[in-house]
Every structure is written in C-alpha cells, then in structure tokens.
C-alpha cells in the first residue's frame, strides 16, 4: 500500500468491481422502483382525495410488518446506496471543465443530483414522517413542523405540510434531481453491467433513458402540483372525506382503529364551545 493510500481506499480499489455493481443495482432495485410507485401514488391525488387515501390504506395494510418492509426494502438500501455513492463521488474526478463531452457533463450532473437528492430525501423523510416513530421524538419535532404527515389523513396532512413557498420550492428541486439521477443512473448502470457498450447501443440507451426521465418528470411534477395547488378550504373538505373513509375502512376491517395515524381534530360540544 502506498503512503497516500488509506485502508478505506485500498479496500475500495480491491473490490471496486463488486461495489459499483451493488451500488447501481440498489439504485434501480428497489430504490428506483419504489420512487416510481411513490410518485405515481402521490400523483393519484390529482384524481381525488379518495383515490390517494385508498392507495395509502393499501400501503399501510401490512400493519406491524410495515416497519420491517420499510427498513428492509427502502431505508437500508437507501443508506447503502448513499454511502457508496458518496464514496464513489469522492474517489472520482470531474473533468467536464477540461473535456466538454456530453458523457462527462452527464457524469458531473449525476454526482451533483446525487448530493441534492441525498439532502432532499433526508429532509423529506424528516418533514413528513419524522424518521423515527418514538413518542418522545415526535413530541419534540412536530411543534416545529416536522413529522406532519398522517397516513389516515393522507391528502389533507400532505397538502397542509406543503403550504407556503419554501417547502414547495425545495420539493420541486428535490424531485427533479431524483428523477434525473435515476434516469441517468439507468444509462450508467447499463454500462456498468455491460448492457450497452458500443457507441450505437449507448445512443439507443440515451434515447430510452431520456424518454423514461421525461415520463418520470411529468409524473413527479404532477405529484408535486397535486400537493401544492390546493388551499385551506380544500384541506377542510379533504378531511371530511378522510373521516368518512376512515370510519368505513375500520368497519370493513380494511384498517385497524389507530388514532396515532390520524390528525388530532378538535371536536365541538353540543353547546357550540370548542374544548
């Protein structure tokens, strides 16, 4: 080992072949597939709050198994992909300034959007889900606007969390960064796995990945618009719909009676005074 070579970099160089393939694989399965499902589910709010709420009920139908599914198929692969991505980015070199070829620029943007996506996902999960479901933790972060999503009041709490302009702007940049990172990552993964090596094959793959990126961008912007366009009056109407759906779903055995997954709603006594 040379004096400039750290144990970590030596390990990476010895196992670079496997590490890069693991990194690209995790970026597509399960993370890329999950992103497509997630954006499509959120875009269903454009149709109606009922459509979105039914999709969320389906996602939460595993009940107590849901945390295992989330950590096994989403959070753990995301952490591995992010750590490996940062390592690969630190060991690579950006040369788009010296060689202004399209592939070099795409490589640069892949790294840039990767860092943007990492920051975005960290705050996205904190903003809506709070990262951890411990009561003490949630009690500390909810008063400052985090962990604001409630799955059994899906549409109303999502829209309420996106009021103002700061979060909508942040989400629009983050979603588009994730879309580019996935679409361009598909092209890069094809080279990593030897699926398109020749210039002609890479040109065809570029068209395919561009089409996928445009489609995902449309779905992503639709999901974003579904969350940011409604106002306060819409939130009140959404909540009425969600309350009716919740009572019906509990009665039908579709979901458990779980107040922790609902927004706290003030009730009005018969005399008309709020508690």
Cβ–Cβ < 8 Å for 255, 60: yes
C-alpha distances (whole Å) from 105 to each of 102, 146, 237 are 5, 36, 47
Tens digit of pLDDT per residue, the chain (275 long)? 444 556 656 777 777 788 888 999 999 999 999 999 999 999 999 999 999 999 999 999 898 899 999 999 999 999 999 999 988 887 765 544 444 566 788 888 999 999 999 999 999 999 999 998 889 999 999 999 999 999 999 999 999 999 999 999 999 999 999 999 999 999 999 988 989 999 999 999 999 999 999 999 999 999 999 999 999 889 999 999 999 999 999 998 888 898 989 986 543 333 433 33
CATH code, residues 13-260: 1.20.1300.10
C-alpha distances (whole Å) from 89 to each of 29, 82, 116, 177, 273 are 21, 10, 13, 16, 59
- Where along the chain do its domains lie? 13-260
């Amino acid at each position: 080992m040379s004096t400039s070579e750290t144990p970590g970099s030596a390990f990476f160089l010895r196992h670079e072949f496997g590490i890069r393939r693991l990194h690209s694989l995790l970026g597509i399965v399960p993370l890329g597939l999950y992103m497509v499902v997630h954006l499509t589910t959120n875009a269903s709010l454009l149709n109606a709050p009922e459509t979105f709420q039914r999709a969320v009920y389906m996602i939460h139908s595993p009940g107590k198994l849901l945390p295992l599914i989330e950590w096994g198929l989403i959070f753990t692969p995301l952490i591995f992909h992010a750590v490996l991505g940062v390592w690969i980015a630190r060991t690579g070199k950006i040369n788009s300034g010296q060689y202004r070829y399209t592939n070099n620029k795409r490589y640069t943007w892949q790294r840039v959007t990767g860092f943007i996506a990492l920051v975005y996902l960290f705050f996205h999960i904190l903003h809506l889900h709070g990262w951890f479901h411990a009561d003490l933790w949630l009690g500390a972060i909810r008063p400052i606007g985090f962990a604001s999503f409630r799955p059994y009041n899906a549409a109303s709490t999502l829209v309420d969390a996106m009021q103002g302009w700061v979060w909508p702007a942040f989400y629009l940049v983050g979603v588009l960064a994730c879309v580019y990172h996935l679409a361009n990552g598909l092209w890069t993964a094809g080279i990593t796995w030897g699926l398109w090596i020749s210039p002609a094959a890479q040109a065809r793959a570029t068209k395919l990945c561009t089409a996928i990126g445009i489609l995902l961008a449309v779905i992503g912007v639709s999901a974003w618009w579904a969350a940011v366009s409604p106002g306060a009056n819409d939130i009140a109407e959404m909540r009425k719909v969600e309350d009716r759906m919740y009572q019906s779903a509990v009665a039908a055995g579709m979901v458990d009676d779980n107040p922790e997954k609902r927004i706290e709603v003030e009730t009005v006594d018969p005399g008309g005074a709020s508690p």
